């Protein structure tokens, strides 16, 4: 029987997991277990050049240290195996073939330097990236043949200007937007690597994911992914885009923050209960930060209590955790 709730956490093994990753993982796991749902660990290692086996193994160890378990994943298997994207290329190729047959895709020969120089940046949801001007959509067949002889193209999904997509986010509410405002987007890179949007849509459908909890920075991606899911005949999952964890200058935490990696905190003697308690306090689940085992927090978890603004991780938090570590 298919569970009514199936969530997932899908990190990339390009560095050690940090506090910001733990924030999303904890929230996604708690929401799934609160609803007696299933939980998947998926490794998003499409870019094999940047992925490392050491980070894959560390990721599993760090998540288990937090108290997170999963019903399906790379180390436990499951009905939708494999759970590493680098091994799922055949499924992505099938989806590409369907889109090609429906004449939804076109080759793009534009160099990265040209893409970065495009001046027409969109407004609103897609304001952080330049909008592609559809130069290659207007190429003739003869021009495409000529260009293909000297350069491998990427593949873009053509998104009609009039297409409307509605995302009913559990935290951000109901929003309707035109994905075309962000331009036609890449579904396969020029180097042959499948793009994030295609892989995540195919995998969430194939794995039966019903609910996706992820960072608010990916909210614009939801409109492209819902549109792409519709083109492939898939029902999209429910979304909840949670606030990001940022530093005191307002910058999103990244894997370059070595001192905030779970591996570094573990090596400093920090107990998982201390970190979990801090995260739950920041998430509005506790009145004060206090040690809590993750499994003990399931019954009182309520996603609606999350703040609606970025969460600041202050240097004092790290210092406190280290000062109270079991050395």
Find, among 122, 132, 111, 110, the residue nearest to 220 by Cα.
122
Find, among 214, 217, 181, 182, the residue nearest to 200 by Cα.
214
CA distance 64 to 142: 55
Report yes or no: 166 and 60 within 8 Å, Cβ to Cβ.
no
Buried b (16+ CB within 10 A) or exposed e, 142-155: eeeeebeeeeebbb
CA dihedral 91, 93, 99, 101 (to 10 degrees): -120
Beta strands in 5-78 (DSSP E): 6-9, 38-41
Residue labelled with tokens 């200058």: 249
Burial class (CB in 10 A: 0-12, 13-18, 19+), 116: exposed
Cis, bond preceding 82 (omega within 30 deg of 0): yes
Residue 165 neighbours by CB under 8 Å, 6+ apart: 176, 177, 178, 179, 223, 226, 227, 230
For the beta carbon of residue 212, count every other beta carbon within 10 angstroms.
22
Q: Which two tokens stand for residue 242?
A: 């949670």
Residue labelled with tokens 């073939």: 97
Catalytic residue status for 255: yes
Find, among 200, 305, 264, the residue nearest to 22 by Cα.
264
Catalytic residue among 6, 151, 255, 315: 255
Report yes or no: 37 and 9 within 8 Å, Cβ to Cβ.
no
Residue 189 neighbours by CB under 8 Å, 6+ apart: 154, 195
What secondary structure letter does DSSP report for 102? T
Q: Annotated catalytic sites, by residue?
A: 255
């Amino acid at each position: 029987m298919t569970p009514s709730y199936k969530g997932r956490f899908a990190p990339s093994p390009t560095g050690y997991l940090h506090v910001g990753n733990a924030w999303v993982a904890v929230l996604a796991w708690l929401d799934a277990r609160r609803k007696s749902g299933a939980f998947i660990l998926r490794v998003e290692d499409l870019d094999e050049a940047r992925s490392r086996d050491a980070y894959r193994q560390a990721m599993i160890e760090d998540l288990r240290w937090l108290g997170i378990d999963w019903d399906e994943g790379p180390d436990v298997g499951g009905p939708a195996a494999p759970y590493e994207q680098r091994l799922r290329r055949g499924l992505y190729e099938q989806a590409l073939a369907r889109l090609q047959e429906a004449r939804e895709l076109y080759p793009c020969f534009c160099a990265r330097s040209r893409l970065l120089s495009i001046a027409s940046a969109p407004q609103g949801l897609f304001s952080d990236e330049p909008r592609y001007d559809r130069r290659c959509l207007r190429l003739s067949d003869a021009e495409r043949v000529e260009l293909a002889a000297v350069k491998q193209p990427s593949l873009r999904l053509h998104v009609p200007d009039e297409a409307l997509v509605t995302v009913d986010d559990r935290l951000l509410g109901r929003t309707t937007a035109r994905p075309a405002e962000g331009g036609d987007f890449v579904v396969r890179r020029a180097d042959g690597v499948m793009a994030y949007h295609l892989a995540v849509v195919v995998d969430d459908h194939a794995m039966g994911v019903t609910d996706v909890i992820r960072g608010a920075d990916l909210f614009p991606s939801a409109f492209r992914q819902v549109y792409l899911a519709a083109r492939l005949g898939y029902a999209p999952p429910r979304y909840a885009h949670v606030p990001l964890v940022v530093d005191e200058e307002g910058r999103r935490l990244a894997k370059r923050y070595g001192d905030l990696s779970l591996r570094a905190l573990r090596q400093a003697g920090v107990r998982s209960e201390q970190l979990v308690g801090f995260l739950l306090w920041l998430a509005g689940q506790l009145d004060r930060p206090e040690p809590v085992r993750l499994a003990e927090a399931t019954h009182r978890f309520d996603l609606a209590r999350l703040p609606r603004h970025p969460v600041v991780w202050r240097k004092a938090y790290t210092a406190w955790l280290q000062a109270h570590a079991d050395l």
